[in-house]
Amino acid sequence: MIRLILAQASGAAPADWVLFFGHFHPLIVHLPIGFLLIAGLLELDRLTRRNSVSSHTITLILFWSAVSATMACIAGYMLSLGGGYEADTLNTHKWEGIGVAVFAWIAWAVKSENLDRIIPFAQVVYLPALGISLLLLLAAGHLGGNLTHGSDYLTQYMPPPLRTLAGVPPKAPVFKAEPITDVNQAMVYQQIVNPILQTRCVQCHNARKSKGGLRMDTPDMLQKGWEDGPVFVAGKATASELIKVCLLPEDDDHHMPPKGKTQLQEEQIALLTWWIDQGAPFNKKVSELKVNDAIRPVLASLTGGGPVEAGTAVAATSRTDGPAPMSPMLTMKVPAANPTVIEELRKAGLLVLPLSKEQNQLEVSAVNARNFNDTQAALLPKVSNQLVWLKLGDTDISDAALAQVAKLKNLQKLHLEQTNVTDAGLKQLKGLTNLEYLNLYGTAVTDAGLADLAALKNLKTVYLWQTRVTEQGLAALKKNRPDLDVIGGINEQEVAAFSKASLPETKEGEPKKN
């Protein structure tokens, strides 16, 4: 086993089993913390109150503290092979952890009288060894917290008086985005892009904690990129790491933000994509860039009201994830949905949300119902008059469910990303004459399915990231529908290249994980 671990240190990519056991480090590391603290408290009690504590008890505790500290060191080393940690802090943390294990073994050897047989007067080093192991434990624990949570984790919320006493610098001001009153005059990076980065990315990529050598807290650092190069290619969003990692499945090790962190919203990804496609400018206003129909409603939603220039004006809405609110589907008069039917939908795990207090239009979302399936889809037509936004992404539905979706005559927005739908399912959607937005990211749709999309005359935006669509198919679709905004369109070959590109090469040419 040790030979295999050392092989990983030679520059080869860490095997999955190495990272698997490495992820047990945060669990194992709590064992030596508990054992050593108990041993230290028992010895302190014995010295101060002269209480008789069984020598065998302390010896046993020290033995397991040494064993668990050693296991924590091995697991910690495995975890470090995955990369993404500040090098100097990691190196100091590593040696402090090794020191804890070494002095714990020394303390155990002396306490168990094994060392007395070899070294006379070995008992005199017992208390110093135990004390050093405890001090190193505190230091290693502090740096471990810094590696995981950032260097200011313990002091982030420290009150000002304590900061003064401890000599800690004043708390950094909380980031506040500049309000946008006129989106046309908004500075694209400063008022639109930077707030997204500050709230979703800077927590792990800042001056105190720069995973992968990447900082995103300033324009200069963002342009500098990470340890393997730039994070964006101006003018080419789909070739940019910044966008690629956001589009990976959430359980992928390279997905950003990491699983468990607050994820980027679809509209935020769209804004970042648009900014990069426009050349990633840091000093331009919205009015100086090209604004297409896909991004116009997203930009409009950033303001308290007002149209967006460079095309048909779009009024703002309090929601940020829908198409233009001027659509007749959002203002037409429809009867209220049957409360019994609403309850049925909710029992199936669906969220049923009104789009406004004044109208009866509904959004139905399966965000909390990942097991939603074709059979349950039969509930949807019961609100066919009211349902205008439907989110079935990342559920168990297939083409069979689209037979029910096709009955939703007022449907304007449809999410089918990362489902089992195919070209056969798209054929059933030809009757959705009011559909304006369709997300097919991560599905098995091919060029044949695009031909059916061309027949949806009101369709304005379609997402085709990581589908089986080819460049030829996209070209044909754009020729038939030049008014249609197609976002993405990465085919299988590009996905393979994309995945490979996201893994930097070692000197030997073998990809390694970060």
pLDDT of residue 502: 38
Domain ranges of the chain: 2-159, 183-320, 328-498
pLDDT digits (tens, 9 = 90+) for 66-93: 999 999 999 888 888 876 666 777 888 8
Provide mean pLDDT across the span 415-442: 91
The answer to whether 433 touches 456, Cβ cutoff 8 Å, is yes
Q: Which H, E and C letters describe 399-447, residue by residue?
A: HHHHHHHCCCCCCCEEECCCCCCCHHHHHCCCCCCCCCEEECCCCCCCH
What does the pLDDT read at residue 351?
A: 85
Chain segment 326-384, per-residue pLDDT in tens:
577 777 888 999 999 999 998 888 888 887 777 888 889 887 788 999 999 999 999 99
Q: What is the 3-state secondary structure (H, E, C) of 244-292?
A: HHHHCCCCCCCCCCCCCCCCCCHHHHHHHHHHHHCCCCCCCEHHHCCCC
Asked if the model's pLDDT at residue 187 lies above 70, the reply is yes
Give the fold, CATH level 3, of 328-498: 3.80.10
**Stretch among 85-99, 151-165, 343-357, 416-430 having the lowest mean pLDDT:** 151-165
- For the chain, what is the radius of gyration of the CA atoms? 29
Query: Are 454 and 263 contacting, i.e. CB atoms less than 8 angstroms apart?
Result: no
- Residue 5: predicted pLDDT: 44
Region 455-470: mean pLDDT is: 86
Confidence category of residue 150, pLDDT binned at 50, 70, 90: low
pLDDT of residue 429: 92
Supply the pLDDT for residue 116. Answer: 63
**Which of the two residues, 27 and 117, has the higher pLDDT score?**
27
Strands 437-439 and 413-415 turn out to be: parallel
| Residue 293: per-residue pLDDT | 64
pLDDT digits (tens, 9 = 90+) for 249-303: 776 777 788 766 778 887 888 899 999 999 999 999 998 998 876 677 778 777 6
Sheet hosting strand 413-415, strand order edge to edge: 351-354, 362-365, 387-391, 413-415, 437-439, 461-463, 485-487
**Which of the residue ranges 35-39, 134-138, 311-315 would you say has the lowest mean pLDDT?**
311-315
